[in-house]
Amino acid sequence: MQNKQQKKTLVAEVTKKIKASKALVFANFKGVSVKDVTTVRKELTQSGSGWQVLKKTLLNIALKDAGIAIDVRKLDGQIGVAFSHDEVTAAKVLAQFAKANKEIPFTIEGGALGVKELSIDEVKALAKLPSQDELRAQLVGTLQAPISSFVRVLSGNLRGLVQVLKAIEEKKA
């Protein structure tokens, strides 16, 4: 059991993580093995996100201290919270894990984007959005397309000119 000072320290650490995060995702992991929770934690860590498990009361205090008005006591089961440095990473990782492991009773229960509370459906919709890197790649492709098309058109004209000159050369030879 933790004493009062340890709980205050834990709440302060979690509050700091919440304030540093752009998005939070709450998941019910009741009945999930330690091995599977460790897998989720590793996947989140690899993506630059984090995972924390603590009592709902302590999580409520940390959320309140961070300025987020969500009551996690209303959520079902044992709640773990995923912290994300961007808007979609934690939601993507947890949704992919839940989808890949349907036999495990791991469910997304809600989340927060900034200080706004998100429903389960909103978190799942967030998980379907492309990441920031994917959006950048799409933007670069979109910007590059007209330029590469222009280069192909110009090279086609030059190729045609070369073929005409070669035909003239063969005719004169």
60-88 pLDDT, tens per residue?
Answer: 999 999 999 899 989 888 999 999 988 88
As its CATH architecture, domain 4-129 has: 2-Layer Sandwich (3.30)
The whole-number pLDDT of residue 94 equals 92
Alpha-carbon distance values, 124 to 32, 35, 168 (Å): 20, 24, 65
pTM of the complete model: 0.75
The whole-number pLDDT of residue 139 equals 86
Evaluate whether 11 touches 62 at the Cβ level (below 8 Å): yes
Distance of CA 36 to the CA centre of its chain: 19
Helices (H), the chain: 4-20, 34-46, 56-66, 89-100, 120-128, 132-172
If you average pLDDT over residues 121-137, what whole number do you get?
86
4-41 pLDDT, tens per residue?
Answer: 898 899 999 999 999 999 999 999 999 889 999 999 99
Q: How many CB atoms lie within 10 A of CB 79?
A: 21
The whole-number pLDDT of residue 79 equals 92
Q: DSSP string of 118-139? A: E-HHHHHHHHHSPPHHHHHHHH
- Is the pLDDT confidence value at 157 over 80? no
Q: How far apart are the first and last CA of the chain?
A: 99
The whole-number pLDDT of residue 169 equals 86
Banded model confidence at residue 1, pLDDT cuts 50, 70, 90: low
Alpha-carbon distance values, 45 to 15, 48, 94 (Å): 19, 5, 12
* Domain limits, the chain: 4-129, 130-173
89-126 pLDDT, tens per residue?
Answer: 899 999 999 898 888 888 999 999 988 999 989 999 98
- In the block, tokens 């690899």 appear at 46
The whole-number pLDDT of residue 133 equals 80
Question: Measured between alpha carbons, how far is 52 from 17 in angstroms, rounded to an integer?
Answer: 10
The whole-number pLDDT of residue 25 equals 94
The whole-number pLDDT of residue 59 equals 92
